[in-house]
Amino acid sequence: MKATLPLRSFSASCRSQVRPTPTKSLRAKNTQTTQSSRRWNSSTSSGNAFWTTSRALVLATVVGAGAYAAASRSSASRSSASRSSASAVAVTKTAAATAKEPTYGDIRQFEKAIAELRAELGEDAISTDNDDLHAHGYSEWSTVNAERLPVAIAYPKSTEEVSKIAKVCHKYRMPMVPYSGGSSLEANFSAPYGGMTIDFAFMDKILEVHADDMDVVVQPSIPWMQLNSDLASTGLFFPVDPGPSAKIGGMVGTNCSGTNAVRYGTMKDWVINLTVVLADGRIIKTRRRPRKTSAGYNLTGMFVGSEGTLGIVTEITLKLAPIPDELRVGVVTFPTVRDAAAAAMQVIRKSIPVQAMEIMDEVQMNVINRAGGTGRTWREEPTLFFKFSGTTAQVADSIQNTKKIAQDNKSTSFEFAKDDQEAHALWSARKESLWSNLALRPEEGEVWSTDVAVPLSRLPDIIGAFLPT
């Protein structure tokens, strides 16, 4: 067994390469080393190999035992680290489970805050009228309403007055809820803890227009439709278009979109900077007007869509877009909602630059006809509404490509507005849909409305899922 193992003896030729023979001067200085070397040489030259199989096995056993010991220590260390990590997670979960609800002042403290604000801002600046409280705390078209109403309504006229309100409310631990248009569908302005609702009704002005820079500075309570009407003479417009009654402050708070989002994006894409009053009354500006995106923290993006929970927006600088040379509105009907949804998905996939695209089923078209608010009778079939805008050539090309996709998806009609007045009438069918539903609801009935979102490829599926079988 020993003779057959392929263990190579440490030969003289290998020794000469790995451990050279000491020179004469070294032997003179270190006789003991030289003698040891001679003993090593004599043992190997005699043909008895030092690295026998037994010795090699012993060495392998020692090395293996050392490796096992090292691995055991490493495993123990990892196990300890794992237990520490699990303990940290458990502590975190326990802390989250025991987190307390926010603590606000009681009604006596709220009354002190109201009295102090009336003394500082005037009696008319703070309302406690019951009808006023109900109007600011309840909405008949909101999916959800809080069980409580606000305690008072404040009507500031400037950023400085908002700061004073915030300082007093902070002092008395009184929650604050910003309010502009009140058109939210999902209780964004509700007051679940009571407190002070801050209505910007008197802060509804355009402060500055920079036509050459294509931006405008506004206060939060200006309606977006009024803003565009006032900007018409500049050749510019603000393209985000939610419900007709929406105002800029609420649009910022909810990061709203609208029918033009297909082409122009949502609110976050059009806000340059904000003036914000923080909860303790401090006033900050999130950035300046130059459109530099990588200039420190994106504070603007943090406040857009925060629904008033991080601060109270009192001034907004918005980007503007050029009014298109030509605008055409088209209405296309389909035999089924799935066909209409498939056509809509394909229009987007083909990168056809439509300005807006909306879908309504036959039930909704029937509701619009019964409500009679658009001045005409519509075909009660699943319908796609399109806006095409741009140069004359761009619009013609977009219409041609859209017609081809509509025909491939079994469209039954494709009509266009002949002029701006008819275009407004056509598009008003979409804009009036909520009010049409409200007008036709049964007595004591309620309307629940909300948004759903799916990946683009699943659009036909989700619409088909709600169809009667």
Pick 107-199's CATH classification: 1.10.10.10, 3.30.43.10, 3.40.50.720, 3.60.20.10: 3.30.43.10
User: Residue 239: what residue type?
Assistant: P
The rounded distance, in Å, linking the Cα atoms of 410 and 394 is: 25
Phi first, then psi: what are they for 177, rounded to 5°?
Answer: -130, 115
The neighbouring-strand residues paired with 354 are 388
Structure tokens of 35?
Answer: 């003698």
Pair 26, 33: CB distance under 8 Å:
yes
Structure tokens of 366?
Answer: 């029937």
Structure tokens of 194?
Answer: 């009571």
Pair 365, 393: CB distance under 8 Å:
no
The rounded distance, in Å, linking the Cα atoms of 97 and 91 is: 10
Q: b/e for 351-374, b at 16 or more Cβ within 10 A?
A: ebebbbbbbbbbebbbbbbebeeb
What does the DSSP 8-state code read for residue 99?
P
Structure tokens of 313?
Answer: 């927006």
Alpha-carbon distance values, 217 to 213, 255, 315 (Å): 12, 18, 7
Nearest to 413 by CA among 322, 334, 307: 334
Q: CATH top-level class for 326-465?
A: alpha beta
Q: CATH top-level class for 208-271+286-302+313-322?
A: alpha beta
Residue by residue, pLDDT tens for the chain (469 residues) are 334 333 333 334 433 443 444 444 434 444 444 444 433 343 444 444 455 555 555 555 655 656 555 555 555 555 554 444 444 444 445 555 566 777 899 999 999 999 999 999 999 999 999 999 999 988 877 777 888 899 999 999 999 999 999 999 999 999 999 999 888 877 788 888 899 999 999 999 999 999 999 999 999 999 999 999 999 999 999 999 998 889 999 999 999 998 899 899 999 999 999 999 999 999 999 998 887 778 788 999 999 999 999 999 999 999 999 999 988 888 899 999 889 989 998 999 998 999 999 888 888 888 878 877 667 788 899 999 899 999 999 999 999 999 999 999 999 999 887 777 777 777 776 777 777 777 777 777 777 777 778 887 787 788 777 766 6
Q: What pLDDT, on a 0 to 100 scale, did the predictor assign at position 179?
A: 94
Sequence ranges of the domains in the chain: 107-199, 208-271+286-302+313-322, 326-465
Structure tokens of 207?
Answer: 């402060």
Give me the residue label for tokens 């309840």.
138
